[in-house]
Structures are given as C-alpha cells and as structure tokens.
Amino acid sequence: MSSSGGVGHESDETTSYVLQPPRPAPSEPGVGRLIAGRYRLLAKLGHGGMGTVWRAQDETVDREVAVKEPRVPDHLPEREQGNAFERMRREARAAARLDHPSVVNVHDVAVVDGRPWIVMELVRGRSLGDVLQEGTLGAREAARIGLEVLGALEAAHAAGVLHRDVKPDNVLLGRHDRVVLTDFGIAQIEGETSLTDTGGFVGSPEFIAPERVLGQRPGPASDLWSLGVVLYAATEGVSPFRRSNTPATLQSVLNAVPAPPAAAPGPLAEAINGLLQKDPARRPTAAQVRALLEATANPPAPEPEPIVRTVEAPAGGGIRLGRRTLFGLGAAVLAAAAVACLVIADPFAGPLPDGWTKKHTKDVAATLAVPAGYRPTTPDRKTDKDHWIRYADESGAIWIGLRLDRKAEDTAHDIAGSAAAEMYDDDSRFKESGDYELSMSKTSRTRPEDRTYQGAKAAGNTVRYDTTDSQNPRPREVQIFYYRTTAGDMYKLTVGYPGRGDFTARGREVARTAIANLSVDRP
C-alpha cells in the first residue's frame, strides 16, 4: 500500500502484468521454471507485497499468459500466510465470476506446494498510472476510460463483487483502445467472510471512500467514489486527497472538500463532483454516471456553419449608400478594429504607472514589472539550484517574487497538470499546515479564483493569515498567480504585504500591476 496514496505506481499490492519492452538476457532466478507442468516462466513483469507477476508460455495451447506467483514472507505467522493464499484464491474467483471485456480473464489456478499461482491473460500495454506520470488526459479520453472501468464495476457489482482498490495502477490500457480493470486481490465477494487483518484495512489511501476509512460496511458506491478520484487525477494531474503521509491522506479523505475540477468541463465535472460526495447515499448511481461520461466522450456534433451567398450588384450603377449608412459602416469598422486589437493584444498588459519599470531575468525566463527602488534578491548558486527572483521595497514590507519550476527538472513529478490543480494543492496545504517560507500559520483564509493569461487558463489565490511569531503574530496577505506553460513549466508570481494598515492598499495595488504585466518568454 502506498504510504502517501499518490497517483504513482509503487503500490505493494500491485498485480500489474502489463507486457514491458524486451530486456537483456534474463538473469533473475526462476526464469525457465515450469509451473504445474504447463506454464514456462519467461520474464518478470512486476512485483508487490503479495506476489510477483511473470510473463509465461502456456506450452499446452502455445500462448503467452501472465502468471502471478504468491510471494509471502516466511516469517509471517501461519494464519497470516493462510489468509494471503486465500486472498489470492478469492482474487481468481472474483475475476472468474465476471464476463466483461474490461475485466481481465483468469484462465487457471495452479497449486504448487500448497501455494496458488494465478494464470491470467496477458494484457499488452501500460497502466493508467504509468500514463499519468507523463501528463494529464483530455476530458474525452478520460471519460472514455471511465466508461470502460464503470462497465467493469457494474459487472462486478451485479455478481456480488466489490473491487475495493480502483486506482490508476489497476487500470490497464491495452491495444485497440481496450481498457481493463485488474487486481481483484482485495475484492470482497458477497457471502464470504472478510480477510482484512484485525485493526486495519487494505487498499490505497487516497482512493479509499470515507465510509471505508470509518470502518463502515462498503457498497457499490464505495467503488464509484474511487472511480471519481481516478477521473479527477486523470484530468487535473493530482489527486484531490493526496497528502505527505497516510494519516494525513486519510484525514483529507474524511474532511477535505476537493477543489472543483478545472480541466474537466460540464458533464465530466458534474460526474466527478457527484462521485466525491462524502455521503455515499448522495453519490449518483452507475446509470447516472454513465450518462454524464457518455455526454463527455461523445459530445453532440457542432451546428453547421451558415452558408453565406453573395449577390452581384446590378451592372452599371453599383449600390448607392446614404450618409447615415456610411457613418454606420464606418463606426462598425472602427468597432471591429478595436475588438481585433483587444483580441490580439496581451489581455493583461496595460500602461505602467509612473515610477515603475520592467525587469527581464533570464533564469526565470520572464519579465517582471516592479516599482522603482525595489531591490532584487536571487538564489545563491552554491546552495540553491531553483529558479526564482524576488524584489522588495526598502522596508521589506512589500515584496514581489517569481518562481519557475521547469518540467524538464521535475524528476519527482511535483508539478501539477494545470495551474488550477497546482493552486488548489497549495491551497489545501495552506489550510492544513500553513507555509514555512511565508511564516504562515495554518489558520489561513483563502480566496481561489480562475484566471487567464494570454487567453490560456491560469489561476489565482488571495491568502490572508497571521504569521507564526508566537510573541507578536502579524497579519499578512499574499496574492499568488499561477500559470502552466504549454511545455509544462509552472510559474508562480507571489506578492506579499501587510494584511492591515497603511501598506495594505499599496500592496494590493502592487499585486494588481505586477500580475497584469507579467510577461513569460515562452507561454
């Protein structure tokens, strides 16, 4: 189980058996072993806390399959080992009950030395979790995948099976646009006793429904909640409940209200918002979700453009226009020219107030507007490799800071998939723990909003807070502007100033002007 519930693909419960690119000559132990006199192990595909998945050759019918080898530590008590083996048998039974193209097919369970080896179809492709490491999905593609997963869940629920671990790593994207829901390893089958260890639960924290966290009896609505989290992560680039550790993640599942999805339009946003209702009774039914996803995946065709026909003027005289008509046309031409100018020009740009100047900084690949006399601070390259610059007035009470996080350097995949997702991720952190660099207490008040930059989506947030100085806490206010470039780089322009007093109005004026005149080299 992932400690942080991230969108990544390191769960120790994985049964991913997606075919990977060919590797050099195998050296791992077990390659070439014949299981149950039939399945020849060819290469290891992946492993987790409960099993290792192999690509194997079924020598009886001459086809490649995926074989899941049980992997249970020898030091576990006999009872827990027995539970683990029974869980694998249930995984096979749960999947074998279902006849749906989006559920992985189970061919056989081979018992070797009392341990069950599950033999399944080999899905050639990648997991959704792997795909999301490279970027977000468009709304239509997310809805298409969501429809297939929903179909698999409907089939499971009709057969009395709850999946209980719907997440991107358990959704495989195969050839010919096939979508397959896998890993029924912790599924609950109606009428069978629970195998969950005493005092705990199984599943991936950020995808677990609130009622499961509270220990209540789950139902089909619990799986639908998890589908909602998957759709949110697929379109926004970040899970709405992911936090730095498991307890914080579970607390956010119970208490945090996710920001409305910014990259999911209309029906898809309605589906996601409905699925993430804390009360399972208020979540939409599978049929209602299907209708919303279908409306997103297959939107109505646009209305045809009207056909404009031209009529030739009578020969010899043309068309005579009166003075009023000419005046009207002249006004229309001027209005059209003005509109064209507004559309083409930078919608943020405006004349700089007196005493302001523009400063270009190569390290952040942008030009900032700052008041005269503001002094710059830049990173010490001996200790700080980040890209930022900060300007402050003589008193230090008002400052302007610009930070650039480059996609090419984001090895930890910290940059969210959209400006709004980045903003809401910061917003949740401000409310839950504050911010060390801003000396912000966790009692901050925020005002998120949608913004635009040169016609593209951006985001903004105004945060009011008291500093963490226990002896003399001071009110502060910051305005933060977020913009994600087409190349995936993330800009954050932050303006900070006193939250009360004579400097507040001036600080807000500085924020408005600096944000309006930000110029990114490569938007």
Residues with a catalytic annotation lie at 165
Q: What is the dihedral of CA 290, 291, 293, 298, to 10 degrees?
A: 130
Pinpoint the alpha helices (H) of 282-322. Answer: 286-297
The DSSP H or E segment spanning 131 is helix 128-132
Are the CB atoms for 241 and 230 separated by under 8 Å?
A: no
- The strand ranges marked E within 84-235 are 106-112, 115-121, 125-127, 161-162, 171-174, 179-181, 188-189
Spatial separation of the C-alpha atoms in residues 84 and 94, rounded to whole Å: 15
Rounded distance, CA 117 to CA 192, Å?
Answer: 21
The neighbour count for residue 464, using CB atoms within 10 Å, is 16
Rounded to an integer, what distance in angstroms lies between the CA atom of residue 223 and that of residue 162?
7
Burial of 309 (0-12, 13-18, 19+ CB in 10 A): exposed
358 annotated to bind ligand: no
Q: For residues 180 and 174, is the Cβ–Cβ distance under 8 A?
A: yes
Contact by Cβ (8 Å): 398, 523: no
The candidate with the shortest Cα–Cα distance to 70, out of 58, 87, 56, is 87
Distance CA 338, CA 319 (A): 27
Alpha-carbon distances, residue 370 vs 26, 178, 362, 469 (angstroms): 60, 53, 16, 29
Name the residue among 81, 94, 110, 83 with its Cα closest to residue 184. 94
The number of beta carbons lying within 10 Å of the beta carbon of residue 229 is: 28
Instruction: Residue 226: name the closest of 296, 156, 294 by CA.
Output: 156
Encoded tokens for 304: 């045809």
**DSSP, res 496:** E
- Of 274, 239, 293, the C-alpha closest to 128 is 239
Distance of CA 517 to the CA centre of its chain: 30
Residues 6+ apart with CB under 8 A from 311: none
Q: Which residues are annotated as a binding site?
A: 68
Q: Which residues are annotated as a binding site for ATP?
A: 68
